[in-house]
Each structure stands twice: as structure tokens, then as C-alpha cells.
């Protein structure tokens, strides 16, 4: 599976590298936003697609890092990336550790509900207190500064490549982790947690580590989103944000890293397109997702799999 | 008398009003096959689930050597060298037979902190997985998804996974159920060899296999131990004949 996707990965990377040459500012910013959401979707894929943990509160970790960054950069000068980014990631990781330690004792639909409940708590915390502007949110005056020669994150083009580099790093990191013994254990847990325990795996520890890693990567996406927009508000961690990223995964195909990225691109582009057609674009989107789930149970990435199958029929593995 | 490897005292488990395992005191000696037989619903699988930590006991204790493991979770018991197979095949259906055994072999090593080197580059684990597949006769089937194996092969894979964890104690719940005669004979011969350096608790309905393998035999009925002793003594025991084996079965023993 992995090897046959490699050419597509190369094509996608080259296209993303070259894209700014052809694009106007609006599209440059749009693709930047999509790449940030792709990082977010990748982090959720680690949970849903590879560990079998369906979280409906993943936006909490996205939002917590965004708020941490916003609160840490209220001075007039640009914030230092190398100070604020670790701080924001640590905040998301700590929140994920705390929440994970509690919610991972539940499973199935209870897990879904409890992850949602914690995210709603985070939402209302920022919504109802004056810490960071309440429901209005707060502005961040400047983009952060990475203090690297030749890199000016205030420039949209530079910011685009910065996000692209981080997307590539996250993709590579997850690809490595998922092939490692740790990653294989996660996939075993998704397939049959009971059997993993019988084999001697302390599955709770593995799930907690995955939950924290996913929360941290979601935090990276949240940091970048806040840096890009120069603005944070509680909607960043609302339940429909958690739902949207889950739909990206479903659309693209969970359990494959490429599918998560594909899902982010197709979701946002469809959203853009549908919203030019009607202001009830969410109806169209809903219909599209339903159709996609019915026709492509493995998501858009499944198209690729179908193609391979029709070329050379062979017993299908789990598709990692 | 050698120290038992695994021992229970007055072990019990109830499900609501039903006492599935009742006052079971049993000890498993090293290098022996200890067979547990009994009619359907006697509590044999429940006993295995208690020993493996899949179920919590309601009463009694379980010792592994000198360790009191009564309240240990299943993964911790497995880490201490107690491997089990399941009566109802319980494998990773979508994974290859090899990966099933590789994960089993991996479980014996600290993999929690190993996030970088690809799993398939751990040569020792691959070797353990290959050895386990070979010993049950699945050497040539490693690349096939478990779901695509025949029923008998999946039963063999179940045993291979237990062996790949390199256990000292094996808890086997009806390993022969659903196997063809050839597969069955292969596994019986294998278990005989394994008994040289393992303690094996064998739950099995196939009486030929039981009497071919067992060094010791325990008969359970309605959650309780009806009789326990050397196979020949059990065969001659009148209670056992009445309560379980039945006249028809006895004549075939
Ligand atoms: N999880 C459970 N909840 C409720 N009752 C259970 C549970 N597991 C087993 N039982 C009951 O406990 C009794 C013993 O079951 P068990 O599976 O241990 O029998 P067994 O000796 O393994 O039978 P068989 O030979 O059919 O496998 C049965 O009456 C069964 O219905
Ligand atoms: Mg049983």
C-alpha cells in the first residue's frame, strides 16, 4: 500500500512546492489554511484511523495551543516561535495527558461522549471567562518570528512554506512512528485490544501516549492557525470544529496518512465551491459526505485501492 | 514434590446468581500437562479466564510461583510468562499470520519507547515469529491474512501466537476444537514435546488427545472439581463415569 502511494506523494509535494508561483494571494492563503487543517486531520487520524479511538473533542487541543500562543504574544513585538511554540505544544500535551488519563478508561460511545464533554468544557471556559476576550476572542498583533535568516513569517509566501515544511515533518514523523514497534502496537489495539492485552501489552499506556501525541500535533495546527489568522476565538474548539476534522478523515479515508491530507484538501475545497453556489452549503456538504460514505467506504483514498485491485487482484491486508 | 508453577485456592467466580467456578483449588506442576475436562458449561473456560486475568475472581487466590497474582490485570500476568489461547479463535484477522506472531513476540520486549526503528528490522522478534509459525506447521502461510486461513489453520495460529511470547506456562482452551485429524495429531505431538519445558493447562473435549497427553486430570462439573488425579485413576473413578463420561464414553476410553 505504502509503496504504491509514493508516486502520488511525490507529485503532491512537487505541486505544493510549485503552487505559489501560479497562485494569487487568496489561493495562497487558502492552501496555507488547508495545510494547517491537514496537520490537524493527521493528528486525529493517529487516534481514529490507527488506534481506534474516535474522539469528538479533538478541537480542544487545537484551541488550547492557539489560546496559549495568543495569550503569550500580546506584546507589540512579534513573539519568538521557539519560545511560544514549545509553550503552546506543552499546553496541549498537558491537557491531552490529563483528559486522556480520565477518558481512556471508557470505550465505544462513552469515549466519544466524554471526549466531547471535555472539549465543551474547554470551549465554555474560554467563552464564559474574560481571560481572553470571552466569546469575542482576542487579536494577536503580529505573526511570530522564527529568527531564521531569510525567513519572515509575516510574509504570506514565507508562511506558506513554513507550514508546508511542518506538514511534511508531521507526515514523516507519523509514518516513522506507525512503522515502529510502538505504532504496530497501536494498530494491534485498533484491530483487537482484548487480544493485545492477553499478549501482554499494557494497552492503556499505549493509548494514552497516542492521545498525547495526537493532542500535541493538533496543538501545532492550532498554533499555526492562530498565527495565520492573527486571531483566536472559542469557535476554534467548538464541537463542529471537532466534527469537521472527523469528516475530513472520513472523506479522505482514515487509517492512511495520505487520506487525511486528501480529506483536508477535498473538504475545504468543496466547502469553498459549495459556498459559491448557495449559502446553504452545509446541506450540500452533508449530502456529499453521505454519498461518499455510501459509495466509498474507504474514503477518496479508496479510489486508489480500487484501481490497484482491478489491476492485480490479491488478498487485501489491513491497508497500512 | 516439586513446587507448583500456578496454584489456586478456593477460587470462585459468580455471574449474578450463577456460580461458574466454585471452590476450585488446583495446582499446575512444572513440566506437566494438566488436563481439565468436563461437560459444556462446567466452568472450564471461566477457570482459564480467571487464571489469565481476563476475569476477576469473586473469591479465592491465584499464585504464580511465589507471586500472588489474584488481582493482576491480564497483560501483567502475560508479561510474567503465562500465555493463553482462546476457545473461540481470537486473532488479528486483517493482519498476516506472520504479523500476528510478530506482535506476540514483540510483546515480550519493551516496545513502548521504541518509536523510530521500523518494527520489521528487529531480527530477533522476526525469528521468534517465524519459529512459532514453523513449529505449528504454518511456515509457508506467514504472508496470508489470518482471515484468509482455514479454520484449522487459525486454530494453529492461535497456538503459535501463544508460543511466540515464549511463555513458561500455557493455558490452552480447547486447542484442538475444529481441527482436522492431521492438524490435530500434529498439535498433540507438539504439546507432548512442549511439556518437556512448559507447564500446560489443557482444556479439551477430545478424549483421545486428553489421555494421550495428560499427566494429571481434573474433572469439573457445575463449576466444581469432581475429581482430580492420575488419568488412570480418573478413568476408573465411578463418580466420574456417572457424572460426566457416561456409559457410552467409558466404553471408548
Ligand atoms: N461472561 C459471562 N457472563 C455470564 N455468564 C457466563 C459468562 N461466562 C460464562 N458464563 C456461564 O458460566 C458457565 C460456565 O461457562 P464456561 O464457558 O466456563 O464453560 P465451559 O466449561 O468452558 O463450557 P464449554 O465446554 O461449552 O466451553 C456457563 O453456564 C456460562 O453460561
Ligand atoms: Mg469453554
DSSP secondary structure string for all residues of A242-254? HHHHHHHHHHH-T
Domain boundary among B135, B166, B197: B166
Helices of type H across chain A: 2-22, 25-48, 59-72, 81-103, 108-128, 156-179, 181-199, 203-229, 239-252, 257-277, 281-295, 301-311
Rounded-to-integer distance, Cα A302 and Cα A286, Å? 20
pLDDT of residue B105: 96
Rounded-to-integer distance, Cα A2 and Cα B117, Å? 17
CB of B199 closer than 8 Å to CB of B28: yes
**Is residue A205 within 8 angstroms of chain B, CB to CB?**
yes
Rounded-to-integer distance, Cα B1 and Cα B216, Å? 14
How much is the average pLDDT of A61-70?
Answer: 94
CATH number at residue B192: 3.40.50.300
Between B238 and A106, the more confident residue is A106
Rounded-to-integer distance, Cα B209 and Cα B187, Å? 10
- Residues of B with CB below 8 A from A184's CB? 99, 102-103, 106, 111, 119
B124 with B27, same domain: the answer is no
| pLDDT per position as a tens digit, B92-102 | 999 999 999 99
B56 lines ligand 1 (CB under 6 A): no
Pocket test for ligand 1, best of B14, B18, B218 (most atoms within 8 A of CB): B18
Q: Residue B217, Cα to own-chain centre: how many angstroms?
A: 15
B128 with B69, same domain: the answer is no
Domain-located, residue A125: yes
Domain count, chain A: 1
Q: Please name which of B238, B233, B237, B172 lies closest in space to residue B205, comparing C-alpha atoms.
A: B172
Q: Residue A142, class by beta-carbon neighbours within 10 Å (0-12 exposed, 13-18 middle, 19+ buried)? A: middle
pLDDT grade, residue B234 (50/70/90)?
confident
Give me the residue from B116, B148, B165 closest to A180, CB to CB: B116
Domain-located, residue B105: yes
Pocket test for ligand 1, best of B42, B171, B205 (most atoms within 8 A of CB): B42
B129 with B202, same domain: the answer is no
B196 with B216, same domain: the answer is yes
Domain-located, residue A320: no
CA angle B46, B101, B137 (to 5 degrees): 95
Q: Which positions ≥6 away from A218 have C-beta within 8 Å?
A: A40, A43, A44, A58, A59, A61, A62, A65, A92
Instruction: Please indicate whether, in this complex, the C-beta atoms of B111 and A185 are within 8 angstroms of each other.
Output: yes
Domain range spanning residue A82?
22-238
Domain boundary among B106, B135, B166: B166
Q: In the structure grid, which three cell numbers stand for residue A21, read together?
A: 508561483
| pLDDT per position as a tens digit, A296-307 | 878 888 787 666
- Give distance in angstroms: CA of B43 to centre of ligand 1: 5
CB of A218 closer than 8 Å to CB of A260: no
B125 with B176, same domain: the answer is no
Between A186 and A288, the more confident residue is A186
B139 with B160, same domain: the answer is yes
B40 lines ligand 1 (CB under 6 A): yes
Q: Which positions ≥6 away from B95 have C-beta within 8 Å?
A: A188, A191, A317, A318, B103, B145, B146
| pLDDT per position as a tens digit, B29-80 | 999 999 999 999 999 999 999 999 999 999 999 999 999 999 999 999 999 9
Domain-located, residue B86: no
pLDDT of residue B13: 96
pLDDT grade, residue A32 (50/70/90)?
very high
B177 with B110, same domain: the answer is no
Helix (H, G, I), strand (E, B) or coil at A304: helix
Domain boundary among B116, B147, B166: B166
Torsions phi, psi for A5 (to 5 deg) = -85, -15
B178 with B155, same domain: the answer is no
CA angle A157, A161, A162 (to 5 degrees): 110
How much is the average pLDDT of A125-153?
Answer: 78
B57 with B181, same domain: the answer is yes
Q: Please name which of A57, A59, A190, A64 lies closest in space to residue A111, comparing C-alpha atoms.
A: A57
How much is the average pLDDT of A90-113?
Answer: 92
pLDDT of residue A320: 39
pLDDT of residue A315: 44
* Mean pLDDT of all residues belonging to chain A: 87
| pLDDT per position as a tens digit, A139-150 | 787 888 777 777
B4 with B38, same domain: the answer is yes
CB of B172 closer than 8 Å to CB of B200: yes
Q: Which positions ≥6 away from A291 have C-beta within 8 Å?
A: none
Domain-located, residue A288: no
pLDDT at A24 over 90: no
B180 with B139, same domain: the answer is no
Ramachandran assignment for A316, one of left (phi > 0), alpha (psi -120 to 50 degrees), beta (any other): beta
pLDDT of residue A79: 78
| pLDDT per position as a tens digit, B158-195 | 999 999 999 999 999 999 988 889 889 999 999 999 99
| DSSP state at residue A136 | G
Domain-located, residue B22: yes
pLDDT at A41 over 70: yes
Instruction: Please indicate whether, in this complex, the C-beta atoms of A181 and B76 are within 8 angstroms of each other.
Output: no
CB of A153 closer than 8 Å to CB of A81: yes
Global pTM value: 0.91
Other C-beta atoms lying within 10 Å of the C-beta of residue B241 = 16
Domain-located, residue A126: yes
pLDDT at A318 over 70: no
Helix (H, G, I), strand (E, B) or coil at A299: coil
| pLDDT per position as a tens digit, B119-161 | 999 999 999 999 999 999 999 999 999 999 999 999 999 999 9
**Is residue A150 within 8 angstroms of chain B, CB to CB?**
no
| pLDDT per position as a tens digit, A209-260 | 999 999 999 999 999 999 998 889 898 898 988 999 999 999 998 999 999 9
- Give CB contacts under 8 A, 24+ apart, made by A105-111: A105/A204, A111/A53, A111/A54, A111/A55
Domain count, chain B: 2
**Is residue A172 within 8 angstroms of chain B, CB to CB?**
no
Return the HEC string of B192-207: HHHCCCCEEEEECCCH
pLDDT of residue A279: 83
Lowest pLDDT segment from A8-22, A166-180, B4-18, B136-150: A8-22
pLDDT of residue B52: 96
The predicted complex's ipTM stands at 0.92
pLDDT at A5 over 90: no
- Residues of A with CB below 8 A from B124's CB? none
Q: Which positions ≥6 away from A15 have C-beta within 8 Å?
A: none
B177 with B221, same domain: the answer is yes
Domain-located, residue A120: yes
pLDDT at B253 over 70: no
Domain range spanning residue B44?
1-81+167-253
Q: Which positions ≥6 away from A6 have C-beta within 8 Å?
A: none
pLDDT of residue A277: 86
Amino acid at each position: 500500500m505504502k509503496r504504491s502511494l509514493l508516486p502520488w506523494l511525490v507529485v503532491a509535494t512537487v505541486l505544493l512546492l510549485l503552487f505559489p508561483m501560479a497562485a494569487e494571494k487568496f489561493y495562497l492563503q487558502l492552501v496555507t489554511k488547508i495545510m494547517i487543517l491537514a496537520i490537524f486531520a493527521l493528528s486525529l487520524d493517529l487516534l481514529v484511523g490507527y488506534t481506534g479511538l474516535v474522539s469528538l473533542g479533538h478541537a480542544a487541543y487545537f484551541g488550547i495551543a492557539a489560546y496559549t500562543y495568543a495569550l503569550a504574544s500580546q506584546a507589540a513585538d512579534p513573539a519568538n516561535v521557539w519560545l511560544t511554540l514549545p509553550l503552546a505544544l506543552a499546553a496541549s500535551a498537558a491537557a491531552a495527558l490529563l483528559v486522556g488519563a480520565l477518558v481512556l478508561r471508557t470505550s465505544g460511545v462513552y469515549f466519544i461522549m466524554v471526549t466531547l464533554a471535555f472539549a465543551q468544557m474547554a470551549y465554555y471556559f474560554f467563552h464564559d471567562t474574560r481571560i481572553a476576550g470571552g466569546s469575542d476572542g482576542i487579536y494577536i498583533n503580529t505573526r511570530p518570528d522564527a529568527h531564521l535568516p531569510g525567513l519572515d513569517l509575516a510574509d504570506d509566501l514565507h508562511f506558506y512554506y513554513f507550514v508546508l515544511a511542518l506538514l511534511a515533518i508531521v507526515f514523516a514523523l507519523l509514518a516513522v512512528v506507525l512503522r515502529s514497534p510502538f505504532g504496530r502496537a497501536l494498530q494491534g489495539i485498533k484491530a483487537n485490544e482484548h487480544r493485545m492485552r492477553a499478549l501482554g501489552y499494557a494497552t492503556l499506556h499505549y493509548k494514552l501516549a497516542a492521545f498525547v501525541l495526537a493532542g500535541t500535533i493538533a496543538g501545532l495546527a492550532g498554533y499555526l492557525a492562530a498565527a495565520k489568522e492573527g486571531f483566536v476565538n472559542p469557535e476554534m474548539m467548538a464541537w463542529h470544529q471537532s466534527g469537521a476534522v472527523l469528516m475530513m478523515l472520513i472523506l479522505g479515508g482514515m487509517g492512511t496518512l495520505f487520506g487525511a491530507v486528501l480529506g483536508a484538501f477535498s473538504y475545504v475545497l468543496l466547502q469553498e465551491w459549495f459556498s459559491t453556489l448557495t449559502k446553504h452549503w452545509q446541506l450540500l456538504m452533508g449530502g456529499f459526505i453521505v454519498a461518499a460514505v455510501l459509495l466509498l467506504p474507504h474514503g477518496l483514498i479508496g479510489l486508489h485501492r480500487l484501481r490497484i485491485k482491478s489491476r492485480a487482484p490479491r488478498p487485501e491486508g489491513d491497508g497500512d | 514434590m516439586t513446587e507448583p508453577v500456578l496454584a489456586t485456592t478456593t477460587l470462585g467466580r459468580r455471574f449474578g446468581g450463577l456460580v461458574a467456578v466454585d471452590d476450585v483449588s488446583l495446582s499446575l506442576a512444572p513440566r506437566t500437562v494438566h488436563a481439565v475436562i468436563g461437560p459444556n458449561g462446567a466452568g472450564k473456560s471461566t477457570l482459564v479466564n480467571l487464571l489469565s486475568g481476563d476475569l476477576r475472581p469473586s473469591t479465592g487466590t491465584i499464585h504464580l510461583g511465589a507471586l500472588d497474582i489474584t488481582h493482576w490485570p491480564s497483560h501483567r500476568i502475560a508479561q510474567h510468562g503465562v500465555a493463553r489461547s482462546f476457545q473461540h479463535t481470537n486473532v488479528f484477522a486483517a493482519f498476516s499470520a506472520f504479523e500476528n506472531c510478530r506482535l506476540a513476540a514483540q510483546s515480550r520486549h519493551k516496545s513502548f519507547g521504541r518509536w523510530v526503528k521500523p518494527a520489521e528490522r528487529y531480527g530477533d522478534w522476526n525469528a521468534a515469529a517465524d519459529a512459532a509459525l514453523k513449529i505449528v506447521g504454518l511456515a509457508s502461510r506467514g504472508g496470508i491474512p489470518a482471515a484468509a486461513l482455514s479454520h484449522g489453520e487459525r486454530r494453529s495460529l492461535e497456538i503459535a501466537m501463544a508460543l511466540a511470547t515464549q511463555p513458561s506456562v500455557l493455558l490452552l482452551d480447547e486447542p484442538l476444537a475444529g481441527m482436522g485429524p492431521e492438524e490435530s495429531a500434529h498439535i498433540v505431538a507438539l504439546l507432548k514435546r512442549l511439556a518437556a519445558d512448559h507447564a500446560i493447562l489443557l482444556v479439551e473435549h477430545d478424549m483421545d488427545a486428553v489421555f494421550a497427553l495428560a499427566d494429571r486430570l481434573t474433572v469439573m462439573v457445575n463449576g466444581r472439581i469432581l475429581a482430580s488425579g492420575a488419568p488412570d485413576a480418573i478413568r476408573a473413578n465411578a463418580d466420574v463415569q456417572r457424572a460426566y463420561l457416561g456409559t457410552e464414553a467409558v466404553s471408548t476410553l
